[in-house]
Chain A
Amino acid sequence: MMGQLVQHYVLLSTVIFMIGAVGFLVRRNILVQLMSIELMLNAVNLALVAFNRQHQGNMNGHMFAFFIMAVAAAEAAVGLAILLAFYRLKGSVNSDEAETLKH
């Protein structure tokens, strides 16, 4: 019974993760890409918490989920700051224009 439940959660997590990954690869708007990254991170959080159900008396999964939230917050702050700077520089949020590293 419990295994079935976990399977559903993991399936949901995979779907959310794939949506995030495809969104990151397909969309060109950096803002949307950042949101896709958030989706992927939260999908992982969901998977971790779901798996933790199988290991009763052990809170490692929850702990990792909190770590990921903290990292995601930092990531969002830095990512948005870069986005703002990039917009001031190029007047656009299209990630195709961020190709200075090529040269």
Chain B
Amino acid sequence: MHALQKLFPPTEFALLAVILLLPLLGAIVNGVFGKRLGKEAVTTMALFAIGGSFVASLASFWLLASAQSAAHAKGSEEAVRFLWKGWEWVRISGRHDMAQLPLAIDFSYDALSGVMSLVVTGVGFLIHLYSTKYMDKDPSYHRFFAYLNLFIFSMLVLILGNSLPVLFVGWEGVGLCSYLLIGFWFDDEKNAAAGKKAFITNRIGDFGLIVAMALLVYYVGSLDWSGIEGGRSNLLTRVQMWPVGNQVPGTGFLQASMPSVAEALNRPRFVSAASLVGLALFLGCAGKSAQFPLYVWLPDAMAGPTPVSALIHAATMVTAGVYLVCRMAGVFVLSPAVMFTIALVGAGTALLAASIAFVQNDIKKVLAYSTVSQLGYMFLGVGVGAFSAGFFHVLTHAFFKACLFLAAGSVIYAMHKRIHDTDASQDMRNMGGMKKYMPKTFAAFAMAWVAIIGVPGTSGFFSKDEILFKAYTSSVAMPVAGGKIMDPRSGKVALELWGWPSWGPTVLYAMGVLGAVMTAFYMSRLVFGIFWGDFKGWKIVKGWKEPEHDEHHDDHHEHGPIEGPKPKESPWQITVPILILGALSIGAGFLNAHPVHIAPLDHFLEPVFKFANGAKDVAVAGGKGPGVALHPNAHGLMWPLMLPGLLALVAGAGGAFWVYVQQAGGPAKALAEKLPGLHALVYDKWRIDELYEETIIGAVDSLAEFAVVFDRIVVDGIVARVTAFIVAASGTGLRLIQTGHTQAYAAVMVVGVGGLGWFFVAPHAAATVKPDEASGSYQITAAPGLGYQYRWDSDGDGKPDSAEFGSQASLPVNLERGEQKTVVLEVKNAFERVSKKRVTLFRPKADASAGGPGVVQIEQGPDGQLRGVVPGQNKPIELRRPAPPPPGGPGALPVPPGLRMAPQPPGRPNPAEPHQHQPGDVH
């Protein structure tokens, strides 16, 4: 242990490089050489890369945990952060009054990224192992593992990046891998389209992330985690959103006729910079984590292979948004409005997606909507300020949803072996009674199922219960009365924050409980549909024929269509990972089991979220900044609030049992027949895709069509033809010159050489001026040439200073302020030819206009008195200290009118002073 600690000190934690680079190595080796290496080598490389990364993550986690407990023992509440500095990438210029901001490729490792990287590499390893069998028969086996390793690398960059730009690189990387893997079987048009949809929808979110980074550079002046934490109080400034500019365009004429309307239209509206940053960040999170309105890509993403759905679209990548909210918790809590938006969007998405999951028949689609819904839960959790609860749900969801997807994949694997049809092998209506045939898969699926519906004691119960509990008891409150933050200088209201409505927690809690009922119902429907009842997939066995009812029929055929092989249990590479994940879904709850007071994870993450709880470090005049506040009676409400959650479980799961097991789906069919319109609407996912198709995609399409017409008529028709004509005409003209007669070319050459000779025979007078306005000494330097001799006329009276030409190539000139002078330079070359040049010099006055800016230097005399001195003038300016201190604070000195205070030494160029002369400027 000591050796490890010595090898990897906290400020140069090179173990992060091992975690990061192993998957990258795997991706490169498998991607470049995979085809020649063969299947065995590809498998070894991929598993070794991710496994090594997992081991390194474990070691890092252990080092972090011991460092954190050591720090805790010393009484430090600071979050321990291991750093590994790569290199400086670029420097960007921020606000005009700011130094250049370096963007460094740095990685850091703290409690949040530690837990996350364990999930990514651990679950990632199990899914890699699973894929070795699942993708066994695929001809692009090596390509699959190259992408998968590249994904792990990108995800680790996202998690371990120490600043937003590095995170963004990973963010885009996982987006790319998601696109590549969704469209893995790209020869099917549908899969390629799904990949494209995911990519483009994510781009909309990424735009928000870029905007957020720009805003943070502007307001905070930093993009790395500690810099943002340190400077986040700068976000509590107001930004005018409306009107853009001075007034709403076109309201000028209203001023006279209807002044009240004009005033109402032009009334300025403000938001805090924190809200802008928070909303922009949340747009990014909503894109990546499939929240309303950008969730539409995730269900389509199930076109990819099932391990991909488990790894990327359930366990890791889609939780990146939640991770980002947790990471930027300190920024988000500064805006109660954004936090409420996040919670509301999360709860709304949870309900919307759950309602769609009710009626889907494709088992992967059900799980996809379930993922969207569970992600909504996570955002509900982080939105109410329960960051560790939301993050805990990320963790448990990674286990049970990965398990569900992989177990569903095992079912699909078994079905596909019989049917050889992708869609049919995912259709729930072809399954049933599978628990007889696939007991291990069923055991894993059932473990994850009881976790997701929240059976007490399982991980899902603890994480969901914690979120529901916090939805009611936790909110973002403003310790400042009324949310009014005062400007310390003017004493006026600088920023007015929007407070949470009193009905907020109740509504969020109710939505959460309703979502829990729906989750329990549709998940139970899925489980009952796959594993209970009789197997319904016999009829679609390839090559199986309807028994012919002819005269030769025997008894065997009369007993029903039992033909073809039975579904078989999957091999160990598939069952072992899902059983491990199933066990984790059951047991992981005790990482954060608040009702039984076992919460090591919460304790571990506490330092990371410390600055979000109460926002104590954001001091504003008249109190503290906004922060997370708990219900006064939160502790007493824990058990009462658990009851609705349990009732939701009983209602949902019991209802599904009654409908789908006892009545064999009868009531559901009856309801669908009774309300065919509603059923069709929900089955078509509320037709939100169609809505987007009509509005946004339609608008883009018509823009594209316009562009095509514009291209055809204007670009091709006019621009291209005119250009082609010019080129053709000049070609025709130039062809006349090219005669092919050597002598004609030689004649042109003779003329050219003659011209050059003439140029060299003639002298050329040219001069550069090096001005020094402060001292008034100007230097004129004549351009050199072969055999040149110079003669100057420094007073500009038309007579040269000396009759003879000499070798003096430069002339110093001294000018008073405001003086103008003309100097004549004459140059003679070796052929006795002379050329002349007039140079006019002008030195500007001290103040370009009376009362304009100048420089006063404040000095302390030997008597201790302060004096003001204008550089270049020897007259001291008397300074008086007025009786009452000005509002700018003590120490401010009155400045004589027309002079600007500048605490800088003389000689430094004053940016406010107009520069009439630049070096090389010649009049």
- B738 and A102 form a contact (CB under 8 A): yes
23 A-B residue pairings within 8 Å (CB atoms): A21-B750, A24-B743, A24-B746, A25-B743, A25-B746, A25-B747, A25-B750, A26-B743, A28-B743, A95-B741, A95-B742, A95-B743, A96-B741, A98-B742, A99-B739, A99-B740, A99-B741, A100-B740, A101-B740, A102-B738, A102-B739, A102-B740, A103-B740
B residues in contact with A100, CB < 8 Å: 740
A residues in contact with B740, CB < 8 Å: 99-103
CB-CB contacts below 8 Å: A48-103 with B? 95-96, 98-103
A residues in contact with B738, CB < 8 Å: 102
Binary contact readout B724-763 vs A (1 if CB under 8 angstroms, 0 otherwise): 0000000000000011111100110010000000000000
A residues in contact with B741, CB < 8 Å: 95-96, 99
New contact pairs (4) apart from A24-B743, A98-B742, A102-B740, CB-CB < 8 Å: A24-B746, A25-B743, A25-B747, A95-B743
CB-based nearest A residue for B735: A102
CB-based nearest B residue for A99: B740
| Chain B nearest CB, measured from A78 CB (Å) | 15
Task: Give the distance in Å from the alpha carbon of A63 to the alpha carbon of B750 in the complex.
Answer: 26
Mostly, the A contact residues are helix
A residues in contact with B739, CB < 8 Å: 99, 102
CB-based nearest A residue for B743: A25
Task: Give the distance in Å from the alpha carbon of A26 to the alpha carbon of B742 in the complex.
Answer: 11
Task: Give the distance in Å from the alpha carbon of A96 to the alpha carbon of B747 in the complex.
Answer: 14
Task: Give the distance in Å from the alpha carbon of A45 to the alpha carbon of B739 in the complex.
Answer: 33
Task: Give the distance in Å from the alpha carbon of A26 to the alpha carbon of B743 in the complex.
Answer: 8
Task: Give the distance in Å from the alpha carbon of A26 to the alpha carbon of B740 in the complex.
Answer: 16
| Most A C-beta atoms less than 10 A away, residue of B738, B739, B742, B750 | B742
CB-CB contacts below 8 Å: A13-32 with B? 21, 24-26, 28
| Chain B nearest CB, measured from A32 CB (Å) | 12
CB-based nearest B residue for A28: B743
CB-based nearest B residue for A96: B741
B residues in contact with A103, CB < 8 Å: 740
CB-CB contacts below 8 Å: B356-382 with A? none
Task: Give the distance in Å from the alpha carbon of A28 to the alpha carbon of B746 in the complex.
Answer: 13
| Chain A nearest CB, measured from B755 CB (Å) | 15
B residues in contact with A102, CB < 8 Å: 738-740
B residues in contact with A21, CB < 8 Å: 750
Task: Give the distance in Å from the alpha carbon of A28 to the alpha carbon of B747 in the complex.
Answer: 14
A residues in contact with B750, CB < 8 Å: 21, 25
A residues in contact with B743, CB < 8 Å: 24-26, 28, 95
Task: Give the distance in Å from the alpha carbon of A24 to the alpha carbon of B746 in the complex.
Answer: 8
B residues in contact with A25, CB < 8 Å: 743, 746-747, 750
Task: Give the distance in Å from the alpha carbon of A25 to the alpha carbon of B744 in the complex.
Answer: 8
A residues in contact with B747, CB < 8 Å: 25
B residues in contact with A95, CB < 8 Å: 741-743
Task: Give the distance in Å from the alpha carbon of A99 to the alpha carbon of B743 in the complex.
Answer: 11
Task: Give the distance in Å from the alpha carbon of A92 to the alpha carbon of B739 in the complex.
Answer: 19
CB-based nearest A residue for B739: A102
CB-CB contacts below 8 Å: B806-847 with A? none
Task: Give the distance in Å from the alpha carbon of A42 to the alpha carbon of B83 in the complex.
Answer: 77
| Chain B nearest CB, measured from A86 CB (Å) | 12
B residues in contact with A96, CB < 8 Å: 741
Task: Give the distance in Å from the alpha carbon of A84 to the alpha carbon of B253 in the complex.
Answer: 92
Task: Give the distance in Å from the alpha carbon of A26 to the alpha carbon of B744 in the complex.
Answer: 10
| Chain B nearest CB, measured from A17 CB (Å) | 11
A-B pairs with the 6 shortest C-beta distances? A102-B740, A99-B740, A25-B743, A25-B747, A95-B742, A25-B746
Task: Give the distance in Å from the alpha carbon of A102 to the alpha carbon of B744 in the complex.
Answer: 12
| Chain B nearest CB, measured from A30 CB (Å) | 9
| Chain A nearest CB, measured from B915 CB (Å) | 50
Task: Give the distance in Å from the alpha carbon of A21 to the alpha carbon of B740 in the complex.
Answer: 19
Task: Give the distance in Å from the alpha carbon of A102 to the alpha carbon of B746 in the complex.
Answer: 15
| Chain B nearest CB, measured from A97 CB (Å) | 10
| Chain B nearest CB, measured from A11 CB (Å) | 16
Task: Give the distance in Å from the alpha carbon of A25 to the alpha carbon of B743 in the complex.
Answer: 5
Task: Give the distance in Å from the alpha carbon of A95 to the alpha carbon of B747 in the complex.
Answer: 14
| Chain A nearest CB, measured from B477 CB (Å) | 88
Task: Give the distance in Å from the alpha carbon of A101 to the alpha carbon of B742 in the complex.
Answer: 10
| Chain B nearest CB, measured from A51 CB (Å) | 14
Task: Give the distance in Å from the alpha carbon of A17 to the alpha carbon of B389 in the complex.
Answer: 97
CB-based nearest A residue for B750: A21
Task: Give the distance in Å from the alpha carbon of A13 to the alpha carbon of B453 in the complex.
Answer: 107
Task: Give the distance in Å from the alpha carbon of A102 to the alpha carbon of B735 in the complex.
Answer: 9
Task: Give the distance in Å from the alpha carbon of A56 to the alpha carbon of B421 in the complex.
Answer: 100
Task: Give the distance in Å from the alpha carbon of A38 to the alpha carbon of B741 in the complex.
Answer: 20
Task: Give the distance in Å from the alpha carbon of A16 to the alpha carbon of B923 in the complex.
Answer: 48
A residues in contact with B746, CB < 8 Å: 24-25
Task: Give the distance in Å from the alpha carbon of A96 to the alpha carbon of B738 in the complex.
Answer: 13
Binary contact readout B536-564 vs A (1 if CB under 8 angstroms, 0 otherwise): 00000000000000000000000000000
Task: Give the distance in Å from the alpha carbon of A103 to the alpha carbon of B747 in the complex.
Answer: 20
| Chain A nearest CB, measured from B753 CB (Å) | 10
Task: Give the distance in Å from the alpha carbon of A103 to the alpha carbon of B750 in the complex.
Answer: 24
| Chain A nearest CB, measured from B662 CB (Å) | 94
Task: Give the distance in Å from the alpha carbon of A100 to the alpha carbon of B738 in the complex.
Answer: 12
Task: Give the distance in Å from the alpha carbon of A25 to the alpha carbon of B746 in the complex.
Answer: 7
| Chain B nearest CB, measured from A103 CB (Å) | 8
CB-based nearest B residue for A26: B743
CB-based nearest A residue for B747: A25
| Chain A nearest CB, measured from B749 CB (Å) | 10
Task: Give the distance in Å from the alpha carbon of A99 to the alpha carbon of B750 in the complex.
Answer: 20
B residues in contact with A101, CB < 8 Å: 740
| Chain B nearest CB, measured from A68 CB (Å) | 18
B residues in contact with A24, CB < 8 Å: 743, 746
| Chain A nearest CB, measured from B152 CB (Å) | 62
Binary contact readout B839-883 vs A (1 if CB under 8 angstroms, 0 otherwise): 000000000000000000000000000000000000000000000
Task: Give the distance in Å from the alpha carbon of A103 to the alpha carbon of B739 in the complex.
Answer: 10
| Chain B nearest CB, measured from A7 CB (Å) | 14
Task: Give the distance in Å from the alpha carbon of A26 to the alpha carbon of B739 in the complex.
Answer: 16
Task: Give the distance in Å from the alpha carbon of A21 to the alpha carbon of B747 in the complex.
Answer: 9
B residues in contact with A26, CB < 8 Å: 743
Task: Give the distance in Å from the alpha carbon of A98 to the alpha carbon of B743 in the complex.
Answer: 11
Task: Give the distance in Å from the alpha carbon of A96 to the alpha carbon of B744 in the complex.
Answer: 10
Task: Give the distance in Å from the alpha carbon of A99 to the alpha carbon of B738 in the complex.
Answer: 10
Task: Give the distance in Å from the alpha carbon of A28 to the alpha carbon of B742 in the complex.
Answer: 10
Task: Give the distance in Å from the alpha carbon of A103 to the alpha carbon of B740 in the complex.
Answer: 8
CB-based nearest B residue for A30: B742
Task: Give the distance in Å from the alpha carbon of A101 to the alpha carbon of B738 in the complex.
Answer: 10
| Chain A nearest CB, measured from B61 CB (Å) | 76
| Chain A nearest CB, measured from B492 CB (Å) | 84
CB-based nearest B residue for A101: B740
| Chain A nearest CB, measured from B39 CB (Å) | 60
Task: Give the distance in Å from the alpha carbon of A26 to the alpha carbon of B741 in the complex.
Answer: 12
Task: Give the distance in Å from the alpha carbon of A7 to the alpha carbon of B122 in the complex.
Answer: 94
Task: Give the distance in Å from the alpha carbon of A101 to the alpha carbon of B166 in the complex.
Answer: 59
CB-based nearest B residue for A22: B750
Task: Give the distance in Å from the alpha carbon of A26 to the alpha carbon of B747 in the complex.
Answer: 10
Task: Give the distance in Å from the alpha carbon of A98 to the alpha carbon of B750 in the complex.
Answer: 20
CB-based nearest A residue for B744: A25
Task: Give the distance in Å from the alpha carbon of A21 to the alpha carbon of B754 in the complex.
Answer: 12
Task: Give the distance in Å from the alpha carbon of A2 to the alpha carbon of B755 in the complex.
Answer: 31
| Chain A nearest CB, measured from B855 CB (Å) | 59
| Chain A nearest CB, measured from B347 CB (Å) | 80
Task: Give the distance in Å from the alpha carbon of A21 to the alpha carbon of B742 in the complex.
Answer: 13
| Chain A nearest CB, measured from B250 CB (Å) | 67
Task: Give the distance in Å from the alpha carbon of A102 to the alpha carbon of B736 in the complex.
Answer: 11
Task: Give the distance in Å from the alpha carbon of A100 to the alpha carbon of B740 in the complex.
Answer: 7
| Chain B nearest CB, measured from A87 CB (Å) | 16
Task: Give the distance in Å from the alpha carbon of A24 to the alpha carbon of B739 in the complex.
Answer: 17
Task: Give the distance in Å from the alpha carbon of A60 to the alpha carbon of B909 in the complex.
Answer: 54
Task: Give the distance in Å from the alpha carbon of A24 to the alpha carbon of B747 in the complex.
Answer: 9
| Chain A nearest CB, measured from B56 CB (Å) | 69
Binary contact readout B197-226 vs A (1 if CB under 8 angstroms, 0 otherwise): 000000000000000000000000000000
| Chain B nearest CB, measured from A93 CB (Å) | 13
Task: Give the distance in Å from the alpha carbon of A64 to the alpha carbon of B399 in the complex.
Answer: 88
CB-CB contacts below 8 Å: B698-722 with A? none
